Structure 1
Amino acid sequence: MVTASFYGRGAAYTGFKVQGHAGFAPAGQDIVCAAVSAMTMLTVNLIEDAFGIKSDLRVDDGKGVIALSLEEENPTASKIIGAFKQELVALSVEYPQNILVKE
């Protein structure tokens, strides 16, 4: 199961961690894993590359973990992370056995 955790202060998101494997289908055929991976990388690339917002990114391919923490609160990054969470929640409604979204 993929577990996504989101962090923040009040209504402002300051980071997230996505870990695990969806287990929907074998590697290379898992559409749930592909969707989560694509959304996660889009979120990271928007924050770091498109908007140049400073963050601490940690990736552990062996454990299937990617975590991003903003160096300081940023309203644009918070909105991006919030939209990412919203999409993961929508996906978790369709695949509740494969994705868990936490606050």
Structure 2
Amino acid sequence: MITVTLVRDNNQAITGFKVSGHAQAGPHGQDIVCAGVSTLVQASIMGIERYLKREINLVQDGGGIKMELACQPDSLTGAVLETMLLGLTEIAKLYPKSVRIIEHRR
């Protein structure tokens, strides 16, 4: 199962996330759930870092990725991260045995 853990601040803004695990929804290299989650996460990271030019702290290991904003969240980072969450939520609805979303408050 893929676990997506979001961190929100006191204003409910997403300040970071961690994604770990495997969907196990198809053969290696053909898992559409894993591909969908990876695409949304990577596009969000690139949008924040490359397009918005915000600094982030990024840690990638063999099966997971962790991203934290190095700056205060704002409406633009919020738009990117909330859109990522919308996509991940839809995937989790379609594949509830493959994706779990957890939210933490700071």
User: C-alpha distance in 2, partners of 1:49/1:66?
Assistant: 17
State the SS of the aligned residue for 2:5. strand
User: How many aligned residue pairs are there?
Assistant: 101
Give TM-score, length-normalised by structure 1. Answer: 0.93
Give the C-alpha shift of residue 80 in structure 1: 1.0
TM-score (norm 2): 0.91
Give aligned-pair identity as a percent. 33
Amino acid in the other structure paired with 2:71: E
Q: Deviations over 1:62-87 (max 9, x none)?
A: 2x111110012121112211111111
> Structure 2: which 5+ runs fail to align?
none
Task: Report SS of the residue matched to 1:27.
Answer: coil
Residues in 2 aligned to 1:7 and 1:73: alpha-carbon distance in whole angstroms: 13
Find the residue that maps to 1:100 and give its secondary structure. Answer: strand
Counterpart of 1:99 in structure 2 is 99
Question: Partner of 1:4 in structure 2?
Answer: 4
| RMSD of Structure 2 on Structure 1 (CA) | 0.9
Structure 1 segments of 4 or more deviating over 4 A? Answer: none
Tell me, what secondary structure is at the counterpart of 2:8? strand
Alignment of 1:82-93 (within 5 A): 82-93=82-93
CA shift for structure 1 position 36: 0.6
